[in-house]
Structure 1
Amino acid sequence: MLIQLASITNKPLKRVLEHIVYLLLIFVLIPVFVYFELCIVLPAVEKDNSKHVINLCIAFFLLLNIVGNMLYGMLTDSSIQGKMLDSQQTSDWTLCAVCECLRPPRAWHCNICNICILKRDHHCTFLTSCVGYYNYRYFILLTLHIFIAMVYAFYYNLKFLATFISWNHGLAIIRFIFPLANFVVDASYESLYIFIVVINFIVALFTGFLSYYHFSNVFKGQTTPERKHNESKYNKGWRRNLIEVFGVRWHLTWILPFIQSPLPGNGIQWHDEDKYK
């Protein structure tokens, strides 16, 4: 579906489809997955009441961070709209023909959002908005917490499947390789569980790659377009780079999306060394 969205040239239609994907994630896929893990898998594999409570607390922590970072990432505006684009140095600024204004370094126009985004990294379908200077933190922590949740769930899912899946001369492997076909042929709860676990594994791989890729960019002080062009002139060292994305309380932001962590700059000026002091 994401490939189909990328190929759509009708901007209003693409925005509508993105919002549909977002609503499906919030109100359908996440609740279904949470129900499966907490109401089916966990009671079946964890009989100890104390461990059961601990697992519920961990699940609540991860869910709060996933949903919270999704909402904050969507609602936090990184565009130039309403910003005072004033700087003493405008020699490296560029002209946006669509917005009809000068834009600061690292700001680029998004054809889907139809506005320039400060320190634009990419347009995210899952957030239905661009990832830029002010919401990059939430995007990265969203992918990180999803990855942790998927790995955590996958461990218990394997234990759960082991209670009723038999090897059957290698047939079990075929059922995992072709989960959708298996579900069509054998429309049972067992086939549905296998399908969900395979999706769990795919999402873990995808978000794991995204987390590694974007954390690598953060440590190098790069955005995705800058990495493609091998630009590193904004690299201030790993600690300053972390602060530039996660704010002055960067070591606490992973705990909850609600924790305030002011950024040192404004996404407009990029040569002010005093902002890190």
Structure 2
Amino acid sequence: MCVLSDLLQYYAKTDPKKFIRYAHPISIVFLFAATVFFFTWEVFFLLPDLIGTEGWFYKANWIVDLVIAYNVWANMLACYRTDCSVARLPKDRLVPGPDEKHLWHHCEDCKQLVPPRSWHCKFCRCCILKRDHHCIFTANCIGHNNHRYFFWFTFYVTLGTAVALVTNFAYMVKYNILLHGPAFIFNIFIWISGSNSPMVKYNLKENVVFSFNLFSVALAGIMLVNQTCIIYRNASFYKREGRYDLGLRKNINIIMGKAGLWTFLSPSIKSPLPHDGAQWQLRKIIK
């Protein structure tokens, strides 16, 4: 994950305009294709073979998969549509109070004072309130106002790929496909060599899907763990200092809003944030 992040940052800094032109649409198309593929593969290929299509369990899986797919795309869209820029604040909120002026800093690009935890994004071309990072999947920055949506986006991507992995695993166990060991690499080698082995014809697609699924759930899981740690400490992707850590309950409310963890049900749930992102309470240090 760190290597991938560093690689993307390198290309982004080399040519920001070109990076945005290609990275955003490619990432969104990839996510859409992967979501449709895993949904179709599970409900139309794996589940009918494993449990049939007549029982309540198959219908329940349909509902679960639809809820997951909905929350992946609805939260991603909510991230994109939510403005986290400092410019969205009223002008009277862009003036620090006498006791907090030392916490604000001057942005050379925006030519103005910006609140603490706000940083300039070269891709969005503005300062972002409590900037976490710029996401290629949501095509904008993750900050104070849309961090809730991004967390549930990563949660449902992880959940969806995990559910698909369990179903894939059950299917491969049923047909003893897992007995072939690291079949993906092995079958690819045989396929390239032009072998007519029956094993390749029967197992290649299942092993490719299973390996891709394993990679997807691992990558999404790393993102989710990282975001969970950020919420736990009220930190951000690039700023892991603990001076804003006010305790788990307050940290959750700062990011999720008044509805707290109930926001996992849908991004349409109203959950006002406790403040506008201009003022941040510091943790009291007991000496």
TM interval, short-chain normalised = 0.7 to 0.9
Tell me what 2:16 maps to: 11
Indicate the residue corresponding to 2:249 in structure 1. Answer: 239
**1:107-256 equivalences in 2 (<5 Å):** 107-166=118-177, 172-177=180-185, 181=189, 184=192, 188=201, 190-227=203-240, 231-256=241-266
Q: Which residue of 1 aligns with 2:64?
A: 58
Partner of 2:95: 86
* 8 A Cα contact 1:179 1:198, kept in partner: no
CA distance in 2, matches of 1:68, 1:102: 34
Q: Distance in 1 between matches of 2:231 and 2:187?
A: 36
Give the letter aligned to residue 85 of structure 2.
S
**Matched AA of 2:258:** V
1:159 CA drift (Å): 1.5
Say whether the 8 Å CA contact 2:78–2:267 is kept in structure 1. Answer: yes
Deviation at 1:79, TM superposition (A): 1.4
Secondary structure in structure 2 of the residue aligned to 1:102: strand
Q: Which runs of 5+ in 2 are unaligned?
A: none
Count of aligned residue pairs for this structure pair: 267
How many Å separate the matches in 2 of 1:37 and 1:159? Answer: 11
Give, as a single letter, the amino acid of the residue that structure 2 aligns with 1:204: V
Work out the CA distance in 1 between the residues paired with 2:68 and 2:245. 31
CA distance in 2, matches of 1:219, 1:255: 20
| Structure 1: distance between partners of 2:265 and 2:189 | 40
Structure-2 change in CA distance of 1:35 and 1:183 (3 Å): farther
- Partner of 1:254, secondary structure, is helix
Q: Distance in 2 between matches of 1:265 and 1:183?
A: 58
Task: Give the Cα separation in 2 of the matches to 1:184 and 1:35.
Answer: 27
Alignment CA distance shift 1:110-1:217 (3 Å): same
Shift of 1:67: 0.9
CA distance in 1, matches of 2:190, 2:267: 39
Aligned to 1:98: 109
Match status 1:49 vs 2:59: no
Conserved? CA contact 2:231–2:251, under 8 Å = yes
Residue 178 of structure 1 deviates from its aligned partner by: 5.7
- Contact kept, 8 Å, 1:42 with 1:156, in 2: the verdict is yes
* 1:78-129 superposed Cα distances (whole Å, 9 cap, x missing partner): 1123323233232211111011111110001112222111101111111121
Q: What residue is the counterpart of 2:83 in the other structure?
A: 77
**Percent identical residues:** 26
Cα distance in 2 for partners of 1:215, 1:2 equals 18
Aligned to 2:34: 29
Aligned partners of 2:244 and 2:282 also within 8 Å: no
- The range that moved more, 177-186 or 63-72, is 177-186
* TM-align CA RMSD: 2.4
* Distance in 1, Cα, partners of 2:186 & 2:85: 43
TM-score by length of 2: 0.84
Which AA in structure 2 matches 1:87? P
What secondary structure is seen at the aligned counterpart in 1 of 2:45? helix
What secondary structure sits across from 1:127 in the alignment? coil
CA 1:174–1:259 in structure 2 vs 1: closer, same or farther (change >3 Å)?
Answer: same
Write the distance in 1 (CA, Å) between the matches of 2:6 and 2:44: 33
